Amino acid sequence: MTKRTDYCGRLSSDDIGRTVTVCGWVSKRREHGEFLAFVDLRDRTGIVQCVVDHAHDIRSEYVLAVTGTVRERPPETANNDLPTGSIEIGEATVEILSHAEPPPFQISGRVDVDETIRIRHRYLDLRTSRMQRNLRSRAAINAAIRRSMDDQEFVELETPMLIASTPEGARDFVVPSRLSPGNFYALPQSPQLFKQLCMVGGMDRYYQIARCMRDEDLRADRQFEFTQLDMEMSFVDGREVRAVISEAVSEAAEVITGERPDSIPEIPWSEAMNRYGSDKPDIRFGLELVDLTSVFSDTDFNAFKAPTIKGIKVEAGGDIGRNQLDQLTDKAKSWGAKGLVWVKVGSSGEVTSPVAKFMSEAEISGLLSTMEATEGDICYLVADEWRKVVHVLGLLRLELARPPVNEGGLCFLWVVDFPLFEDVDDDGNPLPAHHPFTMPHADDLELLSKSSVASDLLEVRSQAYDLVLNGWELGSGSVRIHRRDIQQQIFHLLGIGEEESQQKFGFLMDAFRYGAPPHAGFAFGIDRLVALLVGEENIREVIAFPKTQSGTDPLTNAPTSIDQTQLDELGLRVLPPAT
Ligand code: ASP
């Protein structure tokens, strides 16, 4: 094979007169009469035009080594859209290194292809400029994160993949053990317990670009396997963890955008819920929720006799049609609202609304002044208990005004002081909002020990925090419990009995007997960060070999059945699927 001297996309007018050899794939070929043909050759750096005397035996995606002399293109044939468009490789000779069948989809240009076909032929999809750019950006982001963590004196440690279960609130993937038939390893939902043990082990600052596995339904921002920057630090509080992570994500953003993001603001969870109706607010736009409870405190309107009333206002949004309003109302109902009230403001402050006649003059003027609504605006109101109201308006806010993923810049946000429990299950046990190793807020420890009613427990704050980017939850972390007594109390509250906690987490509780430093940590999803930085809506676009929405891999056909010998060796018997 002729030795490559240059990359296609790196040739320029500086190379005119040089004899070069470039190697790559045929992006396009055009015959020009019988004795002249143009071949656009593509490699990882770009495309260059090669002029050959014929191209009869050359097809798209053939792999070639092309040798010739770089020359200037006649001005009328220069291509300004191509970085190498002012030059070409002339009088080229071609060595065919590999033939190619016609690809199932076009590699150049953006064509809409069914995603299953793209994933089945991922090796072809990876040749596209989109995937080349996304995966190279991903590598640059990983490198920036590593650099930042190294600079901040973190030590990179690898934790095992075959482990006992680590609870992160998802289902485990399990692996049967051959040497211990009937027993199973779990694949890590996160390295959580190992990183805490590293702190007991005096590592002080740990990080890992860690693969995690969670058996949950797949979504645009969720795959079974994902990669996270996982870290833990000793003798610090949450603020120091957030500073370290802010630094790492800023470095990552800078390598892609060329700009360092502003310092990342922090808001408490309760404020996020009240202002944006979400614990992962997209703050690229306003449309904040406004509280109207006091405006309607004495209302005669039955639908407004509720613990909470809030509204959002769309400036100059009043020309929306009845059909669209009905659709919004249906959506609000599907999110759990009893109804959605809309109020349009007319030219002299008069209002149009299906419920106008149920509101008093004072209520209408209170509504308009509180919402600062003027001519042409429309307000949407929801009345219910607090959680329902903020949930519905939070979703409505996104529905009405959320910009596309690649618009509106990068708005990072820290959400702090999450509640310790997010809900209570049917057995009356509270469910941890983060994971059971999260330290309650120091000021709420007393409330925690006194609370016997589940609803009081929901008031207890934790020392957990989330990092949000443009409305996506990038990651979570917390100050951890490092005391056996508090950890036991939490297990007890969660309904995890002595025996179960000993069996599942005995090793952690044992470690805490031997001097556990106060510690705190964090993890953020690298797939999500990369997707947002490169402007992709779906994390599959930044993963080399993703699964489809149904969790299968059309490339390798995973998951597949295994043969009887393997089953026997593992002591497994497969039952027919339940009907
Ligand atoms: N283990 C957590 C997770 O994977 C992150 C953390 O608390 O550090 O979400």
CB 353 within 8 A of CB 343: yes
Q: Is the CB of 438 under 6 A from ligand 1?
A: no
**In which domain, by residue range, is 381 found?**
286-401
Residues 396 and 294 in one domain: yes
Give the pair of three-digit tokens for residue 369.
Answer: 């002044």
Do 254 and 290 sit in the same domain of this protein? no
Average pLDDT, the chain: 95
Of all residues in the chain, the percent with pLDDT exceeding 90 is 86
Rounded distance, CA 153 to CA 160, Å? 22
Same domain flag for 541 and 408: yes
Q: How far apart are CA 214 and CA 171, in angstroms?
A: 6
Secondary structure of residue 353 in the 3-state scheme: coil
Q: Decide: 396 in ligand 1 pocket, CB within 6 A.
A: no
Q: Strand 155-156's sheet: what is its strand order? A: 155-156, 205-213, 225-234, 519-525, 472-479, 464-469, 412-416, 266-268
Encode pLDDT of 6-29 as tens digits: 999 999 999 999 999 999 999 999
Test site for ligand 1: of 435, 437, 508, 528, most ligand atoms within 8 A of the Cβ: 435
Q: Mapping DSSP to helix (H, G, I), strand (E, B) and coil, where does residue 105 land?
A: coil
Residue owning the nearest CA to atom 7 of ligand 1:
477
Considering 64, 98, 132, which residue would you say is the last residue of a domain? 98
What is the rounded average pLDDT of the residues 174-195? Answer: 95
Residue 489 lies in a domain: yes
Identify whether the C-beta of residue 440 lies closer than 8 Å to the C-beta of residue 460: yes
Residue with the larger pLDDT of the pair 223 and 430: 223
Q: Is the CB of 208 under 6 A from ligand 1?
A: no
What residue owns the CA closest to ligand 1's atom 4? 190
Buried b (16+ CB within 10 A) or exposed e, 442-474: eebeebbeebeeeeebbebbbbbbbbbbbbbbb
Kind and range of the H or E element at 506? helix 498-511
Same domain? 83 vs 63: yes
SS3 394: helix
Residue 106 lies in a domain: no
Q: Provide the Cα torsion 278, 280, 285, 288; round to 10°.
A: 20
What tokens appear for 575 in the block?
């039952």
- Give the span between the Cα atoms of 397 and 287, in whole angstroms: 7
pLDDT in tens, 49-107: 999 998 889 999 999 999 999 999 999 989 999 999 999 999 999 999 999 999 999 99
169 lies in the same domain as 202: yes
Cβ(250) to ligand 1 under 6 A? no
Tell me: do 127 and 141 sit in the same domain: yes
Ligand 1 pocket member 523 (CB < 6 A): yes
pLDDT score, position 54: 84
In a domain, 578, yes or no: no
Question: Strand, coil or helix: what is 256?
Answer: helix
3-class DSSP state for residue 496? Answer: coil
* 274 lies in some domain: no
Residue ending a domain, among 98, 127, 149, is: 98
pLDDT for res 320: 95
Q: What are the tens digits of pLDDT across the range 144-157?
A: 999 999 999 999 99
CA of 191 to the centre of ligand 1 (A): 8
Whichever domain contains 335, its CATH number is 3.30.1360.30
Give the ligand 1 atom nearest the CA of 521. 8
In a domain, 104, yes or no: no
Q: How many structural domains compose the chain?
A: 4
Per-residue pLDDT at 1 exceeds 90? no
Residue 356 sits in the same domain as residue 496 = no
Q: How confident is the model at residue 404, as a pLDDT?
A: 95
**Pocket residue to mutate for ligand 1, from 197, 198, 211, 230, most atoms within 8 A of Cβ:** 230
Residue with token string 């044939």: 77
Our answer on whether the CB atom of 521 is closer than 6 Å to any ligand 1 atom is yes
pLDDT of residue 452: 66
Q: What integer pLDDT is reported at residue 171 of this predicted model? A: 95
What pLDDT score does 35 carry?
Answer: 84
- Nearest to residue 154, comparing CAs of 243, 260, 266, 233? 233
pTM score, whole prediction: 0.95
Which CATH number does the domain housing residue 133 bear?
3.30.930.10
Distance 500 CA to ligand 1 centre (A): 22
Question: Does position 451 have pLDDT exceeding 80, yes or no?
Answer: no
Which residue's alpha carbon is nearest to atom 9 within ligand 1? Answer: 476
pLDDT at res. 348: 83
**pLDDT for 82:** 93
547-568 pLDDT, tens digit per residue, is 999 999 999 999 999 999 999 9
**In the predicted model, what is the mean pLDDT of residues 159-177?**
92
On whether both 359 and 253 belong to a single domain, the answer is: no
Please report how the helices 526-534 and 129-151 are oriented relative to each other, as an axis angle in degrees rounded to 10.
120
Residues 53, 134 within the same domain: no
Q: Are 291 and 225 members of one domain?
A: no
Residues 344 and 491 reside in one and the same domain:
no
Q: Name the DSSP letter for residue 28.
A: E
pLDDT in tens, 363-378: 999 999 999 999 999 9
Say yes or no: 142 and 234 in one domain.
yes
Residue 109 confidence (pLDDT) above 80: no
Containing 143, the helix (H) or strand (E) segment is helix 129-151
pLDDT tens digit sequence for 215-230:
999 998 999 999 999 9
Domain assignment present for residue 503? The answer is yes
| Boundary of a domain, candidates 66, 98, 130 | 98
Which CATH number do you get for residue 67?
Answer: 2.40.50.140
**Long-range pairs of 87-90 with CB within 8 A, sequence gap ≥ 24:** 87/11, 87/12, 87/13, 87/15, 87/16, 87/48, 88/38, 88/48, 88/49, 88/50, 88/51, 89/11, 89/20, 89/22, 89/48, 89/49, 89/50, 89/51, 90/51
> 107 lies in a domain?
no
- The whole-number pLDDT of residue 449 equals 80
- Determine, yes or no, domain membership for 262: yes
How far is residue 329's CA from residue 380's CA, in Å, rounded to a whole number? 10
Helix (H) or strand (E) holding 511: helix 498-511
